[in-house]
Structure 1
Amino acid sequence: MSARVAVRTRGGALTVDGLTVGYGGAPVLHDVCFALAPGEVVALLGANGAGKTTLLRALAGLVPAAAGGIDLDGRDLRGLRTEARARRGVALVPEGQSVVAELTVDENLRLGALWRHRGAARERAVAGMYEMFEPLARRRTSAGHQLSGGERQMLALGRALVADPVLLALDEPSLGLAPLVVAHLMSTLRDASARRGLTVLLAEQNVTSALSIADRGVVLDLGRVVADAPAADLAADDTLRHAYLGF
């Protein structure tokens, strides 16, 4: 008999304190500090090479921290492996639309729900994703490789959400997508956060789209936090936008 999954209460409070991460001894992140409140949407911004992907990978346990803490709902995650962090409620959607190309849409969603839901609960969770992403309902028997770029990104997001995370980290979800598809994805993220109390950390090069749905923005430059402010303030700060955000 498989082990029972521990019941999690809804949370999502994240504190990153003095986080330093590197590859092969060379630091990429330097003493990074910021916090997310439960249900908050925060845009993680910065140029290529600023450290956004490394930060998300560190939160998910894919790269080790050299120093500092990562606290989710009062528990330091640094000693936990990636699977254990997922069971604590951390979901990462990496850049590149992480779906299993050979599996159908329905099989991908059920795979995402596998450890979190059983029986009727799994059926309800998968049905909820079809309600959230109507194009997927029409493609449920199609293989991942048969989907458009927008559909694959919807499926990647659905696979993450079907496990009912408390913290959703996304790496460049709008990359390569048409503007209308990007707008739909961003709106869905905002709605998912509001309806589920989901905390979202969104790493994006599409600064305008990210700030349009975010409560706050955290700006990285060369692995350091250079700004942490309400989204509207960042969008209105011409000096910061020109220096770090490229628009």
Structure 2
Amino acid sequence: MSDDLLTVRGLVAGYGAGAVLHGVDLTVARGSITAVVGANGAGKTTLLRALSGTLRPAAGRIVLDGADLRGTPVEQLVRRGVAHVPEGRGVIGELTVDENLRLGGLWRRDRADARRALDEVYQLFEPLVRRRRHHGHQLSGGERQMLALGRALVGRPRLLLLDEPSLGLAPRVVAQTMALLRRLRDSTGLTVLLVEQNVRSALSVADQGVVMSLGRVVHTAPAARLRDDDDLRHAYLGF
């Protein structure tokens, strides 16, 4: 079995006639957190949309555990273990917390394990227990982030695609979210591809860092090395 869960080669994707990604190559090691960082407009969100099937690539390969996924419908990607938490968190405001979470496991055939997964999410996110009958639009930003992550985890994904989890959140909540990702990696072997504008926070939790600029990967290195590379940070990351 390869150490890499996800391999992307020559990925080209965009909107209409305009390409945003120009031949992106990257690998994500099994049981790791890989942070994709870069300035606004670098193509980070487009990359996650292409990987999750919500945007059809024009060219390239997306290989998960040896299977080429390019062109696979979203619902099949979910069944293969790919979960996408988009920017803005995607909570359904008209549904209760409990209903939102149960949506994450509707496709699963093992109903007993789906119930266990739901219980585990409530243990991870204790504030949601008190709010389980509240509707999504009644939650705070931090609670909505918990709910979006929880809904993804109910499906027991192998690969979690997480887009800007710190957006609009207080620093304390951001730190809690990053600590949770590290804990999930260590305790369950979850593989995470994290897109994050808060570069310091992302690199503090990641194993590997991928720097994107203008739709291309311009540098890949261990996250700790990226944090310490002054020239690279000044050139691409703005600090």
TM-score scaled by length of structure 2: 0.96
Candidates 192, 205, 224, aligned match of 2:197:
205
**Closer/same/farther in 2, CA of residues 114 and 12 from structure 1, 3 Å limit:** farther
Structure 2 counterparts to residues 113-128 of structure 1, below 5 A:
113-116=105-108, 118-128=110-120
1:61 aligns with 2:53: yes
> By how many angstroms is 1:126 displaced?
0.7
2:228 matches 1:236 = yes
Decide whether the 8 Å contact of 2:4 with 2:27 is kept in 1: no
| Contact 2:36–2:212 (CA under 8 A) maintained in structure 1 | yes
2:152 alignment partner AA: A
Residues 12, 199 of structure 1: 8 Å contact kept: no
The answer on whether the counterparts of 1:12 and 1:166 sit within 8 Å (CA) in structure 2 is no
Which residue of the partner structure matches residue 15 of structure 2?
A: 23
Aligned match for 1:85, one of 68, 77, 80 = 77
What CA distance in whole angstroms lies between the structure 2 residues aligned with 1:206 and 1:20? 25
Verify: 1:75 aligned to 2:67, yes or no: yes
Structure 1: give runs of 5+ residues left out of the alignment.
1-10
Stretches (4+) displaced over 6 A = none
| Preserved CA contact (<8 Å) 2:56 2:71 | no
Aligned length: 237
- Whether the 8 Å contact between 1:40 and 1:193 is mirrored in structure 2 is yes
Question: How far did residue 122 of structure 1 move?
Answer: 2.2
Contact 1:170 1:202 in 2 (8 A): yes
| Superposed displacement of residue 118, structure 1 | 4.3
Q: Which string of whole-angstrom CA distances, capped at 9 and with x for unpartnered residues, describes residues 83-142 of structure 1? A: 111111111000011111011111111111111254332221111001111111121111
TM-score, normalised by the number of residues in structure 1? 0.93
After superposition, give the CA deviation of every residue in 1:19-61 in whole Å (9 maximum; x if it has no partner). 1112222211111111011111000101110000000000011
Are 2:165 and 1:173 equivalent residues in the alignment? yes
In 2, are the aligned partners of 1:113 and 1:122 still within 8 Å (CA)? yes
Provide the rounded CA distance (Å) in 1 between the counterparts of 2:164 and 2:71. 27
Paired letter, 1:180: R
Amino acid corresponding to residue 224 of structure 2 in structure 1: A
Q: For residue 83 of structure 1, what is the amino acid of its counterpart?
A: E
Deviation track 1:114-172 (CA, whole Å, cap 9, x = no partner) reads 11254332221111001111111121111111110000000000000110010000110
Asked whether 1:141 is paired with 2:133, we answer yes
- Aligned match of 1:40: 32
Whole-Å Cα distance in 1 between the matches of residues 44 and 147 of structure 2? Answer: 23
Instruction: Return 5+ residue gaps in structure 2 as ranges.
Output: none
Query: Residue deviations 1:164-211, cap 9 Å, x none?
Result: 010000110100000000000111111112211111000000001101
Q: 1-side partners of 2:4 and 2:143: how far apart?
A: 27
Name the amino acid aligned to 1:54: T
> Helix, strand or coil: the match of 2:114?
helix
Distance 1:142 1:12 in 2: 40
